[in-house]
Amino acid sequence: MDRKRIVSDINLREDRLPPGQRWISAPIVYDIVDHIPDWDMESYRFKVWGEVENPLELTYTQILSMPSVELLADFHCVTRWSVKDVLWEGVQTRYILELVKPKTHANFVLLHCLEGYTTNLPLSYLWEEDSLLAFKMQGKPIPKEHGYPLRLVVPKLYAWKSAKYVWGMELLREDVPGFWEQRGYNMRGDPWREERYW
């Protein structure tokens, strides 16, 4: 089945390469732990909770059966490298938000990941057309080191916001710092404003 393909509008910007960045050929892998285990996908559940009308819990198979899109988007790391035209496939986060129906005072989201990582961002980014929960990368199932089983992809922000190994989205009234934000990284992380650190 042919998937709708979206090209992120960041790829069309006149200043496509954000300030302080350089192009490289492929993403570099970073993790907060030394070893990523093989996840138990029988027990894996993706959950959305917090300031929502309809909390959600899904198996990986259920996620794969949802409507999906392909996304072509540049990828910008806070450590000053960028990769052109990374192809992702997954479920648009706004589709998930439509299912859970955020309450009117839900302003932020905290992402929870299987290895213990968290990151925060304004909920508005998840309503963008080019924000995905990705399960494929470059046309193949997403490699473990790049985020299997699910990776949040938010091209308009630095890549530390595109959390790997995602199992949960917690919708919040107030902004709560995640792993790197507690260690001095910017609470938002817009590459074109060089929102790298505090």
d(CA 111, CA 63) in angstroms, rounded, equals: 17
63-110 pLDDT, tens digit each? 999 999 999 999 999 999 999 999 999 999 999 999 999 999 999 999
- Domains parsed from the chain with CATH numbers: 4-24+40-193 (3.90.420.10)
- What pLDDT, on a 0 to 100 scale, did the predictor assign at position 1? 54
What distances in angstroms separate CA 117 from CA 42, 61, 123, 140, 162, one per listed residue? 21, 23, 18, 24, 11
104-129 pLDDT, tens digit each? 999 999 999 999 999 999 999 999 99
- What pLDDT, on a 0 to 100 scale, did the predictor assign at position 3? 80
Among candidate residues 9, 19, 10, the one with its CA nearest the CA of residue 196: 19
Question: Does residue 151 have a pLDDT over 70?
Answer: yes
Residue 69, strand partner residues:
4, 90
Query: Residue ranges of the alpha helices (H) in the chain?
Result: 60-64, 93-100
This prediction's pTM: 0.95
2-15 pLDDT, tens digit each? 689 999 999 999 99
